[in-house]
Amino acid sequence: MQIFFNKYFFIFFITVFQIAGSVAQTTISGSVHDKKGEPLTGANIYLQGTYDGVSSDVAGNFIFITNQTDNKVLKIEFVGFEGFSQEVALIGMPLIFDVVLKETFNEMKAVTITAGTFEAGDKKKSVTLTSLDMVTTAGAMGDVYGALQTLPGTSLNGESGKLFVKGGSSDESQTYIDGTLVYAPYNSSPPLTSTRGRFNPFMFKGMVFSTGGYSAEYGQALSSVLQLNTNDLPIEDEFNISLLTVSAGLAGTKKWNSGAITASLNYTNLKPYMALVPQNINWSHPPEYLASDVSVRQKTGKSGMLKLYATLSYSDMTLNRVNLNDDMQITSYDLHNNNLYVNGSWRTMIGTKWTYRTGFSITENRDKVGYGDANFKEELRGVHYKNVFAHQLNKKINLRFGADLFMKEYSNDFSEKEEKFVSQFQNNSMATFAEAEVYISNKFVTRVGGRYEYSGYLNKANISPRISTAYKISEHSQVSLAYGWFYQNPLNTYLLYTNLLEPERADHYILTFQSSKNKRILRSEIYYKDYKNLVKVDPSEFYLPQAYNNLGYGSAYGIDVFWRDNKTIRNSEYWISYGYIESERDFRDFPAKAIPSFVSRHNLSVVYKYWIDEIRSLVGVSYRYSSPRPYHDPNLPGFNNRETIPFQTLDVNISYLHRENVIFYAAVTNLPGFKQEFGQRYAQIPDSDGQFASEVIIPGASRFFILACFITLSKRGDLNQLDQIE
């Protein structure tokens, strides 16, 4: 009887326990996905403070049973997304959840604004050119501006060599080094002869080339801004020797724990070269250059970097040219140039979320010209001082604001026999700017800002609103929009005679698509530029203030396409650039609205580079084409009534790594010898038959050859100048 009782008591106890247990159990199930409805596989679902939980399956579904009671917190987490947290009552009733997780902000994955902007530098998130491209592109011959002319949006003007962007003249583009202005970025040259930039590409670790819609930090440029960023600390001490058929150079670097100093000396003389290679220009004193520079970099504190750079250069050249206004007599054009440029910058962190950047630049440029009995002396002195603060308000909002002070003196002296004229002006101006970059999500960013500028000489102020935005349409593709107002003071040669003008203005509208995947980049951009307040001048009375007004206007619109492929062909890379533009203006001395002579409707560049392992050589080939440009023939009715012939060139170079520290280099431009002409220049007065004498404008030579050897001496012996060759 006792055994029977105990048996049934045990059964009763187990049954009651099971019932109680089943009452305490709670089933938690549901699904987890993103806001597009895509399932999140492997999400972690659990009750906080317990071991109860599960991971979501491939469909984003989950289910688990818990014996916990009372109130607990249900957590759902997935890498890259904001977590889900909710208090739940565990009373045995099933709980079902349909959870949508929001993607967290990730600066490394976030969309970047690309409208109107090309970036170079190995550490950039969105790279279309690398730093090495700046110096290894065939035909660029070591010129920063020459390499940029292989990008869409630029128009090639062979008789100038300067940068012409999206229907703008070279005067509408500005160059900045470490954030401060370079007042005279090009070497001086005689009229209608090509020039190049003053600075060696190996000074820079990267660049940002803005062909429109650029940041409110920069102003006084109607078309484009080129931002060059100098190198930081070197790896070790080194000494470089450069021997070229036209020049020679020495450079040395000394490094210490927290800083370094680099100094260089370069001498160029084209006389021996031109004695061997036929020239189209009659040089009585071929171009001769002497340049020296010094650069100091010093770490300050835990996060600061101080940079100082100074360069001093001298050039001398004389050519003999037909004087079309003096019965075709040969007249010498003698040019002497002295240039001093000093740049300093300091960048540091203030706390954890503030960055302070300050800098200055000093430019002094003097040109002395003798042309027959006439003598010209042009002097430009400029100072730029800048302060910029940047603050990360939170992960999604970055603020930046600052101020600029510009001081410029410009003078132009002219003398001929007993006559002498001196004209000069001084303009002190200031500017302030502020902008905010707001990340709505990883896929959407907007930058809103404005710039205020005031010119003391013109006594005029203006405000420039700027806005840019970008949206990531897929993991590898995005679209960007940019709009803004951009002002620029009139040319120095106009301000010599009047201060009654308004700043010129251009409104930019830009839409860009960019896709980057598997080392391939596709970029296309359409744009429209609306020009207002352009200066018009009556050339017959250029010395009178009333000869100038702001009644000029114009427009430019077009499409640019860029394709780069670093993967398809082994050991090779190439890019293709194409730009189409329509542009008309009524400005300067134009009698009516017309296409400016610096605009070519079609521009094509194809650049190819191939590394040959067997002979340790880098071969580069580039082809460039520009459609005919208009120019004015006073012997025909109308204005800008003729066209140049199409321009084309095929350039080749090769770099041979003889040893780890010795490189041999060879290059030739226009290898096939394509005929190249840039229109004609005309006399200012007609002859006895009423005709204006003329002469065809052609390049200095049909081809340009160069041979070079670059030697690097260092402790390890494996450093070289492969990233410094032209």
d(Cα 513, Cα 482) in Å, to the nearest integer?
12
For residue 111, name the pLDDT band (cuts at 50, 70, 90).
very low
Q: What pLDDT shows up at residue 136?
A: 65
Q: What pLDDT shows up at residue 151?
A: 84
d(Cα 38, Cα 62) in Å, to the nearest integer?
15
Backbone phi, psi, residue 48, to 5°: -60, 135
Digit-coded pLDDT (tens) for 317-368: 999 999 888 878 899 999 999 999 999 999 998 988 899 999 999 999 999 9
Residue 429: Cβ-neighbour burial (10 angstroms; 0-12, 13-18, 19+): buried
Residue 366 in contact with residue 337, Cβ under 8 Å?
Answer: yes
Residue 438 in contact with residue 396, Cβ under 8 Å?
Answer: yes
Per DSSP, 561 falls in state E
Digit-coded pLDDT (tens) for 609-655: 998 988 888 899 999 999 999 999 999 999 999 999 999 999 999 98
d(Cα 29, Cα 76) in Å, to the nearest integer?
12
HEC-encoded secondary structure of 365-411: EEEEEEECCEEEEEEEEEEEEEEEEEEEEECCEEEEEEEEEEEEEEE
Strand order in the sheet with 84-90: 53-55, 44-47, 70-77, 84-90
**Mean pLDDT to the nearest integer, 300-310:** 90
Digit-coded pLDDT (tens) for 434-473: 999 888 887 888 999 999 999 999 999 999 999 999 888 8
Contacts by residues 100-106 (CB-CB < 8 Å, ≥ 24 positions apart): 100/32, 100/33, 100/34, 100/35, 101/32, 101/33, 101/34, 101/40, 101/43, 101/76, 102/34, 102/35, 103/34, 103/35, 103/441, 103/442, 104/80, 105/395, 105/396, 105/439, 105/441, 105/442, 106/80, 106/442
Residue 447: Cβ-neighbour burial (10 angstroms; 0-12, 13-18, 19+): buried
Residue 101 in contact with residue 121, Cβ under 8 Å?
Answer: no
Q: What pLDDT shows up at residue 117?
A: 61
**DSSP codes of every residue in 635-688:** TSSSSS-EEPPPEEEEEEEEEEEEETTEEEEEEEESTT-------EEE-SS--T
Strand partners, 643: 630
Q: What pLDDT shows up at residue 533?
A: 97
Residue 594 in contact with residue 639, Cβ under 8 Å?
Answer: yes
CA 315-316-322 angle, to 5 degrees, is: 135
Residue 8: is its pLDDT beyond 50?
Answer: no
Q: What token pair was written down for 297?
A: 């970099």
**DSSP codes of every residue in 37-80:** S-B-TT-EEEETTSS-EEE--TTSEEEEEE---EEEEEEEE-TT
Total Cβ atoms within 10 A of residue 185: 23
Name which residue leads in pLDDT, 500 or 22: 500
**Mean pLDDT to the nearest integer, 282-286:** 94
Give the least confident one: 56-70, 122-136, 230-244: 122-136
Strand partners, 356: 348, 389
Dihedral, 10, 16, 20, 22 alpha carbons, nearest 10 = 90
Digit-coded pLDDT (tens) for 54-102: 888 888 899 998 988 889 999 998 877 788 999 999 988 899 999 999 8
d(Cα 119, Cα 142) in Å, to the nearest integer?
18
Give the least confident one: 74-88, 269-283, 668-682: 74-88
Residue 510 in contact with residue 212, Cβ under 8 Å?
Answer: yes
Q: What pLDDT shows up at residue 120?
A: 43
Q: What pLDDT shows up at residue 558?
A: 96
Give the least confident one: 216-225, 629-638, 659-668: 659-668
**Mean pLDDT to the nearest integer, 135-141:** 67
- For the chain, state the CA radius of gyration: 33
**Mean pLDDT to the nearest integer, 291-306:** 91
In whole numbers, what is the pLDDT of the chain averaged over residues? Answer: 87
Hey, what amino acid is at 507?
A: D
Residue 455: Cβ-neighbour burial (10 angstroms; 0-12, 13-18, 19+): buried
Backbone phi, psi, residue 144, to 5°: -55, -45
Report H helices in 96-174.
Answer: 133-136, 144-148
Which of 105-114, 422-431, 432-441 has the highest mean predicted lDDT (pLDDT)? 422-431
For residue 482, name the pLDDT band (cuts at 50, 70, 90).
very high
Residue 725: is its pLDDT beyond 80?
Answer: no
Q: What pLDDT shows up at residue 616?
A: 87
Q: What pLDDT shows up at residue 113?
A: 47
Q: What pLDDT shows up at residue 105?
A: 55
Q: What pLDDT shows up at residue 12?
A: 40
HEC-encoded secondary structure of 187-253: CCCCCCCCCCECCCHHHEEEEEEECCCCCCCCCCCCCEEEEEEECCCCCCCEEEEEEECCEEEEEEE
Structural domains of the chain, ranges and CATH numbers in brackets: 2-100 (2.60.40.1120), 117-330+337-342+353-384+442-714 (2.40.170.20)
Q: What token pair was written down for 564?
A: 């780069």
Closest among 665, 668, 647, 645 to 655, alpha carbons compared: 665
Closest among 139, 140, 123, 122 to 131, alpha carbons compared: 122
d(Cα 622, Cα 474) in Å, to the nearest integer?
33
Q: How far is CA 510 from CA 3, 111, 163, 244, 529, in A?
A: 94, 17, 20, 43, 9
Give the least confident one: 122-131, 251-260, 691-700: 122-131
